[in-house]
Amino acid sequence: MNNVIEYLPHGFCIAWNPQLLAMHVISDLLIAIAYFSIPIGILYVAKRRPDTELQPIYYLFAAFILACGVTHVMGILTLWVPLYYTQGITKVVTAVVSVATAIYLLPKLKHIMALPDLSKLTQINTALAEEIVSRRQSEASLRHTQELALQAQKTQAAFLANMSHEIRTPMNGVLGTLDLLLDTELKPEQHQLASASKRSAASLLSLLNDILDISKVESGQMTLRRSPLEIADVLADVEAALAFDAQSKNIELRCPAEGLPESVYVGDSVRLRQILLNLVGNAIKFTDVGHVKVTCRELSRTGQVATLEFAVKDTGVGIAPEHQKNLFKRFTQVDSSSTRRAQGSGLGLAIVKELVELMGGQVRLHSEPGNGTEVVFSLKLGLPTLSDSTERDQFAPPAPAAIQTETIPPVQQFHGKILVVEDAAMNQMVVCKVLERLGLASKVANNGQEAIELLATEQFDLVLMDGQMPVMDGYEATAVIRSGTVPGVNPDIPVVALTAHAMVGEDQKCLNVGMNDYLTKPLDRAKLIEVLGKYLPKA
């Protein structure tokens, strides 16, 4: 009240001019409204763009503009009410906020000026949008490429499986009939020709196995068995298998197993034998005079793992340095000309390298033209445990298809009657003839349906079951046998797969449908005898 008495509202000074008063009131009111609305937008931006550098400036500007708005409102009020002290306080607050904003803003100007302008931001945003679209397209293209690659891999696997089956089926007839022929009395010249034919057919089968091994490596399906192996036995097998080739060239082949601290290790004897057969066979192929020698020594051991080193040394023609770097690559040969001295697919040494690395080792080569070649490779093998039972529990049994056994002379005789389920006439004849040599009676079914009908009416001791057949295949027929739903069919009769399907997982597929064992074509008589010995009485 004292303010009213002491000071007059300055609006009265211009009350005689209503237009001037209205101009001041409306202007201040509009400015105040604008000042009150602007902070709302600034605070909205501050919350949506939380820039740590500019965040305080947003709030200071909002406070500064809001204070300015209050100042203008106080200017309107003092036209009629002398609130000059209140107006003064408002101006002081506005001044403080203004100075604080200026003090904080000035050091930040450099940072603010470094920010790109709107056009650059728009360009950056457009570029980012295009980059996102491009990356999405690339990802879609990559997914499509992966799908195509996977489809190609599946197609390749299906092709290899089919080709393996189609090649193995006639090869069973070729090798089977040659085996039967060699069992007969032949003139020396006839025996020589039949033996040469068998070796050629075996070479073709070996090439097929090499292609399948490469396919297994590429698909990651190459697995190793872990079971007790005797180095001396493996070396003896290699020497026996290649002795004829060495003798035919008057080359001395030596595979001694001497100086090893252990007689038995733990590992994959099948793959070790395959490595040595490839290396020694290759050495014999390129050696005309002298010898081929295999040595083995233990380098070190850590815990239950021993590192062994094998060396295959020959006195052959040697290899030029420029050819050595490509020697272990697939489909690569030192001499690829039409006049090369030795034939081959170029897969053997590539498979050796893959297997050695899979078994935790490395392979290296030293050779000089005219001075022979030495291939050295290391392997990591396990050390046997003290208890045989513990050892067998610790290591998984080998897959039936991977077991390699000593050749058993084909004089073993059995008692029993075998049902041969096979749709190819040549294979029917070969298998029945082999069974006849083993003292067994046999009868043929052309497909799974005929097999079920024969099993329901006749007594058999074992079934040799093909996989792929018309009408009813071997897998379905085995499932029907095991179901026990057909009267007269013994659901427990031993069923052994005899199939040309030799791809990874085929053995497990046969076992899953209820078959007891697994044999592949071409039929290996020694393996057949081994399997028959499990289920049939010997004569």
Percent of the chain with pLDDT over 90: 21
Write the CA distances from 113 to 103, 107, 109, 110, 403, integer angstroms: 17, 11, 6, 5, 78
Last residue of a domain, one of 115, 134, 165: 115
Shared domain for 252 and 375, answered yes or no, is yes
Shared domain for 6 and 43, answered yes or no, is yes
Mean pLDDT, all residues of the chain: 79
Q: pLDDT at position 453, please?
A: 94
Shared domain for 377 and 438, answered yes or no, is no
Any bridge partners for residue 265, and if so which?
Answer: 229
Read off the CATH number of the domain in which 478 is found: 3.40.50.2300
Last residue of a domain, one of 75, 92, 115: 115
Instruction: Judge if the upstream peptide bond of residue 522 is cis by omega within 30 degrees of 0.
Output: yes
Shared domain for 388 and 454, answered yes or no, is no
The alpha helices in 444-491, defined as continuous H runs, are 448-457, 474-483
Shared domain for 250 and 369, answered yes or no, is yes
In a domain, 109, yes or no: yes
In a domain, 409, yes or no: no
Shared domain for 233 and 367, answered yes or no, is yes
Confidence at 346, pLDDT banded by 50, 70, 90: low
Any bridge partners for residue 230, and if so which?
Answer: 264
Q: What is the DSSP letter of 312?
A: E
Region 513-532: what's the mean pLDDT? 89
Shared domain for 501 and 391, answered yes or no, is no
Residue ranges making up the domain that contains 505: 417-535
Confidence at 458, pLDDT banded by 50, 70, 90: very high
In a domain, 12, yes or no: yes
Residue 511 phi/psi, 5-degree rounding, is -65, -35
Per mean pLDDT, which range of 129-133, 210-214, 331-335 is the poorest? 331-335
The model's pLDDT over 302-326, given as tens digits with 9 standing for 90+, comes to 888 899 999 999 998 888 887 777 6
The model's pLDDT over 257-280, given as tens digits with 9 standing for 90+, comes to 777 777 789 988 888 888 898 899
In a domain, 127, yes or no: no
- CB burial of 376-414 (b: ≥16 within 10 Å; e: otherwise) equals bbbbbbbebbeeeeebeeebeebbbbebeeeeeeeebeb
Shared domain for 392 and 433, answered yes or no, is no
The residue that leads in pLDDT, 261 or 467, is 467
Shared domain for 386 and 464, answered yes or no, is no
In a domain, 441, yes or no: yes
Per mean pLDDT, which range of 106-115, 237-246, 460-469, 508-517 is the poorest? 106-115
Shared domain for 309 and 379, answered yes or no, is yes
Last residue of a domain, one of 89, 115, 141: 115
Q: How many domains does one find in the chain?
A: 3
In a domain, 404, yes or no: no
pTM for the whole structure: 0.50
Shared domain for 278 and 310, answered yes or no, is yes
In a domain, 219, yes or no: no
Q: Which amino acid is at 204?
A: L
Shared domain for 382 and 424, answered yes or no, is no
Read off the CATH number of the domain in which 266 is found: 3.30.565.10
Q: pLDDT at position 344, please?
A: 45
